[in-house]
Amino acid sequence: MNHKFTFFVWSFLSVCITASAVQAQDVQSVLLRSVTVTCKLEESIAFYRDILGQQVIEDQPQSAESAARFLNISPTAKVRFVVMKGSGVYPGGEIIGGRVAFMGIDEPKGPACKDAAKQTNQRGVQGSEIHPHRVSNIEEIARRAKEHGVEILVPLKVSGSRLSRNMMMFDPNGRIVEVFEVNIAKIPDAN
């Protein structure tokens, strides 16, 4: 048998086996954090801190030059990256979840922010997201939201399964935020 031909066959088989092994691997993905581009950074921080009890764990200025690759800003804009997290022990154990993050733009007359004050909250449309948060003491969150004048979409209610209570509201950026509290036992029927 010709050595060049044998080498070719072995090389070809090696490529096929390697390609097959790569295709057979499972793809895995976990949402690390949700990042909202906002011109209302301080309002956003206050909402998640004062109503949902989250805390800032990272607050870093960003280079406008770098950020301009993915944000509609001028080279003179001020940009901050802020990450917040919640924590807690809930019925069933501690939940370690994703983070809420913001790419804050301080450029009121710039292209990204010039219409921010005109934006109104709207019900979900194509491309909208609903951001669920598992919480404890949902009554206190509902009280805080009302006290801060937050627009409530769905008032606090018991779910159909009677294993959780939830409510939906808008954050300062017009994102729909769902908060829900899970119970180990069914919530008694109010009737």
Task: Please report, for residues 18, 43, 109, 150, the alpha-carbon distance to residue 46 in angstroms, rounded to integers and kept in the order given.
Answer: 52, 5, 23, 12
Residue-by-residue pLDDT tens, the chain, 191 positions:
555 444 444 555 555 555 555 555 788 776 677 889 999 999 999 999 999 999 999 999 999 999 999 999 998 999 999 999 887 665 566 655 668 899 999 998 888 888 777 777 777 777 778 888 888 889 999 999 999 999 999 999 998 888 889 999 999 998 899 999 887 667 777 66
Q: Give the start-to-end residue ranges of the domains of the chain.
A: 33-119+128-182
pLDDT for res 87: 72
CATH code that applies to domain 33-119+128-182 = 3.10.180.10
Whole-model pTM: value is 0.77
